[in-house]
Amino acid sequence: MHFLKQKVKTTKISYPNSAISIIQEPPLPNYVMNVSLLSTLNAPLLGYILKAFAERGIPIHSILLDEKDVSPKDAQIHDERTQGKLPPISLFDFHNLDIPYYFIRNHGSEVAAEFIRSHHVDILVNAGTPRILKSHLLQAPSVGVINCHPGLLPRYRGCTCVEWAIYNDEQVGNTAHFMSEGIDEGPIIMQEGLSFTKQDRYSDIRIAVYAHACTMLAEATKKVMQEHLHPATLPAQAEGSYWNVIPQDKMQVVIEKLNRQEYAYQQ
């Protein structure tokens, strides 16, 4: 399979400090859309996403919390990737935003879809749903569901795309897109490639990708609101490739390449 070389914006990464105060900007002018987040109480990045939305003045209509928590295995993967250097931000830090929280047993249920329709939600944001979302839920908001995928689509769909990109000596990046039933196949809203320093190691790169994804979710939501974007108004993705979880032997190659400062995007 052949792929065209993508032209994507490249961003130099600065690393987050979860201890800094939350600065809320005034709401966006001409705000007319209801934005809701899908997450769980223990989603590790929910606080960072809320912070990014608050800093950009994007009002949040509600947060829908699924009863299924992040599994111990997934929590361990997050901690191992970040070496504990990206701790959760407490939801109590956002008490001044007065965001309603709703507890829904299953984000993929008809109950959830009916809640979204009856509350006139325009944009859903995947802020850590534990569910695979089907068409009835994806079509419930008037605009769509926004996701941020840690890979440059359509080249990198699927699993451990950060690791595969480094292994292939290609650029790591994030892509914000509208979700569809096909995995990582929905219309692209925006994407950015990332570059790193010679001193960055695996955990540094993973932290940077996570942090950048949180801000990109907010930026993509702002872009959809301001430019009145809709899945139907954006082009379909080109042909791409799906990647399975990287094997352990190739993962070791990734770590050693970064330690030797031989990754092409360590500059």
| Of 78, 107, 149, 177, catalytic | 149
The enclosing H or E element of 210 equals helix 202-227
How many other CB atoms are found less than 10 A from the CB of residue 260? Answer: 9
| Residue recorded with tokens 């032997």 | 249
- For residues 122 and 141, is the Cβ–Cβ distance under 8 A? yes
- Measured distance CA(53)–CA(38) in Å, rounded: 14
Active-site residue, 107 included: no
The DSSP bridge partners found for residue 158 are 243
| Residue recorded with tokens 């790193």 | 196
- For residues 157 and 241, is the Cβ–Cβ distance under 8 A? yes
Instruction: Give the residue from 50, 79, 77 showing the smallest Cα distance to 217.
Output: 50
Neighbour-count burial of 242, counting CB atoms closer than 10 A to its CB (0-12 exposed, 13-18 middle, 19+ buried): middle
Active site residues: 149
